[in-house]
Structure 1
Amino acid sequence: MINLTKIVAAILVLLAIVLGGYAWMLGRQAPAKTAAATAPSEQTKSQQPLTYAVVVATKPLPAGQVIPADALRIERLTVNPAGAFQEVATAAGRVPVLDLSEGSPLMENQLVSGLALRVGEGERAIAIKADEIMGVGNKIQPGDFVDVFITLKSDGKDVDRSQARLLLSRKRVLAFGSASLDGLPSKTVDKQQQQAQRTEAARTAVLAVPVDDVNRLTIGDATGRLMLALRNPNDMAEPDPKLFADLPTALQPASIRPGEPRRAPLEGLDRAQAGLTTVDLVTGGKATTGRPALTEARAISNSTRAPLPGIARGGLQVEVIRGDRSETMSY
């Protein structure tokens, strides 16, 4: 009986050893089959290149002209250039700084950026001299609205009497000193450098000014002292232009021919082209005794003026008036 039990136990031990060896063999074959099965799928994936959605031009885009939405499309490219656009809506309406060919990807550094995008239509960005007193103790920040006052001191030459008055009202500050409203994120990460930038004395202030008021601001900055008055952005009050006469322009508009309709007053670029004189800015356009005499020249018809001795008929005669003196010349 004891021998039978030993024989059975020996058989069971041998069976366990055989089953263990078989299990070990199956364990080694399974990873090999799995690796062989997954290898084709990974190879298939590696054969398909990774692509990116990039906005490209569908036709040549000239520099300086607004990009229409129908001139752009999205293509899948194997490269993703730095600064490329992924949506047409974000690139449409921008202006390229250089000519772009058809099919070229649009990138941020190829388009107009910076402070120019903050200037509204019909406005111009004008820089004027600034200091701590003029700039409200350097408390002005980009985005603020200011009134521009001018002070003119009497010196017996160009200004008859000293005066101070409002020159321009509610103008937007685009930049003050090194701080600018250009929409770009600050590259300064050091807090000490940021604090030094705030306390740095500003030397210039950049204002957004309607183009027909640029002459007024530039002459005021050249002949008088400007002062910026900070105002609440919710204060929309401005002087009524109907209460004051328009200043005459330096260039007189062309005369209207008989039968032509009456022209509208000069505005915008036309008024800026006509210009403004310092004496008219000071006096409001009123004639003064201290105003220097102008040199006037006008053609004289031969039928109304007798020819001067020694001058043949048929030549053009011009009368030149200098103050109270008159002289007739022929050429």
Structure 2
Amino acid sequence: MNRSRILLHGAIALVLSLTAGFLVFSWLQGQGKKRQAPVEQAAPAQVQLAVAAKPLARGERLGPGNLSMAPYFEKSVPPGSFTALDALEGRVVMVPLGVNEPVTQDKLFPAGSSGSGLETRLGEGRRALAVRGNRVMGLGGLILPGARVDVLMTVDDPDKQGQKLAKVILENMLVLAVGAQADRPQGGKEEMLGETYTLEATPAEAEKLALAGVQGELHLALRGPLDRETVLTSGASLRGNLASLRETDPPKDAPPDQTKAQPMVEEIRGAKREVAPLGSKDARKTGGKP
């Protein structure tokens, strides 16, 4: 009886052990399959797009020298892109482009626009207006296209007949062209002279500039490339210029300056001699001989 029970219990334990071992073995096999390298997926499809081969400024005409092709994923192709360089031949850039930036339809002027005129370089709502210049006005040729200038006007003072008044009337104006040249000189030359200087202006600024050119004499003051500050001035007049660096008069109630020599009065009475500043209460008029 006891022997039968022992055999039964042993058989049950053996079956349970085999079952547990089979389950563990199956689980380990499943984990091994999960750790296997994933199946390589096909690379996303790519397409060749026309991009800028170098930084392009507003108004530049496109051609083989400033364009190239670059691969882009089909899902990330910008709307209006070009897949052939021939379609961009002669088109004009409306928005500045960086290197390898895709050229799209909305970044270009309409087909047929000329890239040689200043109209392609004007900002939205801006106008181009020329003022008469000379060597002095152009700083000896150092004011070049792309520079920023302030415009000063010298005119007869409307409040003081016969007097002149100088005043800054416009600030931070972009120079579009010097004479007929809208591009900076090449080959290391850093000067350019012209009889006119074309400035970019809003319509209101253009009115002020046109009137100033007729009523007075204009001057251009060159600004630094990072200077965007607006400075309010009162203007300069002849009287104000003559007052520059002038020594101010002392206040009426200020004590006399002891460092300055003062006229003295000497009084001699017998063997007594007295000296006092002229005009003081101790000074007395004397007469006769000592």
Quickly name the TM-score band, shorter chain normalised: 0.3 to 0.5
TM-score after normalising by structure 1: 0.37
TM-score after normalising by structure 2: 0.42
